[in-house]
């Protein structure tokens, strides 16, 4: 995978983590984001450092591995490893990543297990030199693509669909295409969700699938027409002082070189279907989508929730951090005081160290601690953005009662999650989703709350103030914008099963 003439530094110091082996109860009870991508074309700038900070701002999109590839002349320099961005890189490593062009990635595995070999960017050798590819999303036609690649004896070294996209591009180039045309031919072989940043010695490319399921934005550095940035979210532009220019459109390819930025609509069929989960949970609240911060949208969801399912209570609070904007909105409409009922330990990253049995039994206090003197003797409304399996919510409710809450009413600022995602979000299989098998009344009983209500599907979409058809909301309806093969629905790690 790592080309022979590249300066590639990878480390295998972390043992492989097979997420199948992690007890379901220990896995985060939330939809997990797949990846953050970042790209930069910036002559005379320290692109490695700018990429590092871009990834640092995108850390919430993936905490398992991080990687940066830079291009100086014809040579690619690559470093990737398991861990948080701040754990993987230091000044010395960044100094060894020179050049004008950078591609970065933070990963949470949605295909392939969690191992440094599956970390990105994926670097592959082609007839025209090396390319480095960073991918956010998931393909749904990996089986077909894999067989096509193996037929031509491509050397697949990882279990990710991202490597397959890079190899499909390499195959097209090796068959005689130029980079731009070859890449487009390869994109036509991909189905599913893909927001890509692809670096080469000539420039950097930003691409979205025809539905634009995952976000990708363009920014300019210091207002210069020759220095561009691509990123999953605008928060990665803000951190390096870049100015938001526009989104990469669904089915669009932007190609940034010394000649500036060129745009090409590579897919004739476009139908915008941005993931609605990005809007109310995944993306950072300070990121801008549809010309407003997601904080503002999330506040509106809370207001709508209060209109739809008001209940009498003494205080309202949100589950930190993602439930807070909706809780503030709810409190304003309900005219019930907003308080902080739970304090989050902001310094916990993901840990693979298992807590002691006693800690496990005591609930979720490693992350969230209830404020006893705020909650004691109060009827409380707790707002969360979603419920996936319900394991965390149940422990949370128990901890609120132990802290003295006399009534616990739970309100959720999205509808019940009834279907898994196949477009780059890590969800459990359908039978693990509590709302797929239980009614709202049954879930309320299971969580031991006094009342439970979800936001309506219409409410969630109408509050975007956009065309309600321009979003994917398949995990609430099962109406998948890109058809998902039955076989794929059975296993997240189906690639590895196929290889064995
Ligand atoms: S299925 Fe759900 S999580 Fe997946 S892209 Fe669609 S809205 Fe987003």
Does ligand 1 lie within 6 Å of residue 421's CB atom?
Answer: yes
Asked if the model's pLDDT at residue 385 lies above 70, the reply is yes
pLDDT confidence bin for 425, thresholds 50/70/90: confident
Q: Is 35 a catalytic residue?
A: yes
Q: Where are the domains of the chain?
A: 36-273, 297-346+356-471
Protein residue whose Cα sits closest to atom 5 of ligand 1: 275
Asked if the model's pLDDT at residue 25 lies above 60, the reply is no
What is the pLDDT at residue 492? 38
Identify whether the C-beta of residue 102 lies closer than 8 Å to the C-beta of residue 50.
yes
Give 153-177 pLDDT, tens digit per residue: 677 777 788 999 999 999 999 999 9
Asked if the model's pLDDT at residue 8 lies above 80, the reply is no
- Using most ligand atoms within 8 A of CB, pick from 30, 139, 277 the residue to mutate for ligand 1: 277
Of the options 3.60.20.10, 3.40.50.300, 3.40.50.1980, 3.40.630.90, the CATH number for the domain spanning 36-273: 3.60.20.10
Give residue 476 CA to ligand 1 midpoint distance, Å. 8
The model's pTM is: 0.90
Type and span of the H or E element at 342: strand 342-344
**Mean pLDDT (whole number) for 392-419:** 96
* Nearest atom (ligand 1) to Cα of 476: 2
Type and span of the H or E element at 329: helix 324-334
Q: Do domains 36-273 and 297-346+356-471 have the same CATH topology?
A: no
Give residue 96 CA to ligand 1 midpoint distance, Å. 38
What is the pLDDT at residue 499? 39
297-346+356-471 maps to which CATH number?
Answer: 3.40.50.2020
35, 154, 190, 235: which one is catalytic? 35
pLDDT confidence bin for 358, thresholds 50/70/90: low
- Using most ligand atoms within 8 A of CB, pick from 419, 472, 479, 483 the residue to mutate for ligand 1: 472
Mean pLDDT of the chain: 88
Label residues 73-99 b or e (16+ Cβ within 10 Å = b).
eebbbbbbbbbbbeebbeeeebeebbb
Does ligand 1 lie within 6 Å of residue 474's CB atom?
Answer: yes
| Cα 287 to Cα 232: distance, rounded to the nearest angstrom | 10
- In terms of Cα–Cα distance, which of 474, 495, 385 is closest to 423? 474
Asked if the model's pLDDT at residue 111 lies above 70, the reply is no
Query: Token digits for 433?
Result: 């989703």
Give 41-52 pLDDT, tens digit per residue: 999 999 999 999
Does ligand 1 lie within 6 Å of residue 274's CB atom?
Answer: no
Characterize the bridge pairing of strands 204-208 and 315-318: unpaired
Helices 391-402 and 440-447 meet at what angle, rounded to 10? 50
Protein residue whose Cα sits closest to atom 2 of ligand 1: 475
Identify whether the C-beta of residue 33 lies closer than 8 Å to the C-beta of residue 22.
no
Query: First and final CA of the chain: distance in angstroms?
Result: 19
pLDDT confidence bin for 110, thresholds 50/70/90: low
What is the pLDDT at residue 248? 98
| Cα 363 to Cα 32: distance, rounded to the nearest angstrom | 20
DSSP labels, 347-376: T-----SPPPHHHHHT-STTTEEE-HHHHT
Does ligand 1 lie within 6 Å of residue 84's CB atom?
Answer: no
Does ligand 1 lie within 6 Å of residue 275's CB atom?
Answer: yes
Overall residue count recorded for the chain in this entry: 500
| Cα 240 to Cα 105: distance, rounded to the nearest angstrom | 16
Contacts of 34 (CB under 8 A, 6+ apart): 61, 62, 107, 108, 110, 136, 137, 138, 214, 424, 425, 426
Of residues 306 and 491, more confidence is placed in 306
DSSP labels, 44-110: TS-HHHHHHHHHHHTGGG--SEEEEEEEETTEEEEEEEES-HHHH--HHHHHT--SSEEEEEEE--S
Asked if the model's pLDDT at residue 22 lies above 60, the reply is no
Query: Token digits for 10?
Result: 């990878």
Give residue 401 CA to ligand 1 midpoint distance, Å. 33
Q: Which residues are annotated as a binding site for [4Fe-4S] cluster?
A: 275, 421, 472, 475
């Amino acid at each position: 995978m790592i080309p022979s003439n590249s300066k590639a530094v990878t480390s295998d110091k972390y043992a492989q983590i097979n997420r199948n082996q992690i007890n379901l109860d220990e896995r985060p009870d939330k939809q997990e984001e797949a990846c953050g991508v970042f790209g930069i074309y910036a002559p005379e700038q320290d692109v490695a450092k700018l990429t590092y900070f871009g990834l640092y701002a995108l850390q919430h999109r993936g905490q398992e591995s991080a990687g940066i590839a830079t291009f100086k002349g014809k040579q690619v320099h690559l470093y990737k490893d398991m861990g948080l961005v701040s754990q993987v890189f230091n000044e010395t490593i960044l100094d060894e990543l020179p050049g004008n062009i950078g591609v970065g990635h933070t990963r949470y595995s949605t295909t392939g297990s969690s191992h440094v070999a599956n970390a990105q960017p994926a670097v592959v050798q082609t007839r025209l030199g090396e390319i480095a590819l960073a991918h956010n999303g998931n393909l749904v036609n990996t089986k077909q693509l894999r067989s096509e690649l193996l037929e031509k004896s491509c050397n697949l070294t990882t279990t990710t669909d991202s490597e397959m996209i890079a190899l499909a591009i390499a195959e097209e180039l090796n068959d005689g295409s130029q980079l731009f045309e070859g890449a487009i031919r390869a994109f036509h072989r991909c189905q599913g969700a893909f927001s890509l940043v692809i670096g080469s010695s000539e420039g950097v490319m930003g691409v979205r699938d025809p539905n634009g399921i995952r976000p990708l934005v363009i920014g300019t550095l210091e207002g210069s027409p020759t220095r561009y940035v691509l990123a999953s979210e605008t928060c990665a532009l803000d951190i390096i002082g870049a100015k938001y220019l526009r989104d990469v459109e669904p089915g669009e390819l932007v190609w940034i070189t010394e000649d500036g930025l060129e745009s090409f609509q590579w897919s004739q069929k476009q139908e915008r279907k941005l993931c609605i989960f990005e809007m109310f949970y995944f993306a950072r609240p300070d990121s801008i989508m549809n010309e407003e911060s997601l904080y503002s949208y999330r506040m509106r969801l809370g207001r709508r929730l209060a209109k739809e399912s008001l209940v009498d209570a003494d205080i309202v609070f949100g589950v930190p951090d993602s439930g807070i904007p909706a809780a503030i909105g709810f409190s304003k409409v309900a005219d019930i005081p907003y308080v902080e009922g739970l304090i989050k330990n902001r310094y916990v990253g993901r840990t693979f160290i298992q807590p002691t049995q006693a800690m496990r039994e005591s609930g979720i206090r490693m992350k969230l601690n209830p404020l006893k003197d705020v909650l004691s003797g109060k009827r409380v409304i707790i707002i969360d953005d979603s419920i996936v399996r319900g394991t965390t919510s149940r422990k949370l409710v128990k901890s609120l009662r132990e802290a003295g809450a006399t009534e616990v009413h739970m309100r959720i600022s999205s509808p019940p999650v009834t279907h898994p995602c196949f477009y780059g979000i890590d969800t459990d299989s359908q039978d693990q989703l509590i709302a797929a098998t239980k009614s709202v009344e049954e879930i309320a009983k299971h969580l031991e709350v006094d009342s439970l209500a979800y936001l309506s599907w219409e409410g969630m979409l109408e509050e975007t103030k956009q065309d309600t058809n321009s979003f994917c909301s398949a995990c609430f309806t099962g109406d998948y914008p890109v058809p998902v093969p039955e076989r794929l629905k059975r296993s997240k790690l189906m690639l590895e099963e196929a290889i064995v």
